[in-house]
Structure 1
């Protein structure tokens, strides 16, 4: 897969989900936008979990942990370049390594992700797990 295909297929979804890693809690409008974009991409909750764990968390956790104040207002173009570069390399041992350590890279945003998945299931008319 080339960079342009990644941007075309995942770019909108990646940028919509990026607020999960911001310093502030996502707003109602953030969650609503995330759900709207997710629904356009027609992914199962299991597929979304892997997007969260393998495609986004390794890059966004590094941004979140940086001391650079620019993270408060991240640059979509810079973020997209980082995400594309990471995902182009996400094969073989790298993919397995990130899968293995994804619990650590998602730790700080897991509560937000769970909230989003609960809202998504309600929007889809599914019963959230208790």
Structure 2
């Protein structure tokens, strides 16, 4: 897959989900936008989990831990460049390694992710696990 195909297929979704890693809690409008974008992409909850764990978390967790990171907003262009570069290399052993360590890279945003997935399931009319 080439960079343009990645941007075309995932760019909107990645940028919509990036606020899960900001220093502030997402607002209702942030969650509503995330749900709206997720609905357009028609991915299963399981597929979304892997987008979160493998495609987003390795890049955003590193930026979140950066001393110089800006956590009130993102530079969308720079973020997209990092996400594309990461995902172009996400094959073979790299994919397996990130899957192995995904618990650590998702830890800081997991509670927000769980809230989002619950909202997605409600929007889809699916049963939310207790």
Q: Same fold (TM over 0.5)?
A: yes
| TM-score normalised by structure 2 residue count | 0.98
Partner of 1:60: 60
Residue 11 (str. 1) matches residue 11 (str. 2): yes
RMSD of equivalent CA atoms: 0.7
Aligned ranges 1:68-83 → 2 under 5 Å? 68-83=68-83
Spell out structure 1 runs of 4+ moving beyond 4 A. none
Q: Distance in 1 between matches of 2:72 and 2:102?
A: 23
The number of residues matched between the two structures is: 130
Partner of 1:98: 98
Residue 30 (str. 1) matches residue 17 (str. 2): no
Which whole-Å deviations, capped at 9, do the CAs of 1:41-96 have from their partners, x for residues lacking one? 00000000000000000000011111224332210000000000000000000000
Q: Distance in 2 between matches of 1:69 and 1:58?
A: 15
Gaps of 5+ in 1: none
Q: Distance in 2 between matches of 1:122 and 1:46?
A: 16
Q: Distance in 1 between matches of 2:2 and 2:69?
A: 31
Q: Distance in 2 between matches of 1:111 and 1:73?
A: 19
| Cα displacement (A) at 1:115 | 0.2
Retained in 1: the 8 A contact 2:63–2:69? no
Bigger shift: 59-68 or 40-49? Answer: 59-68
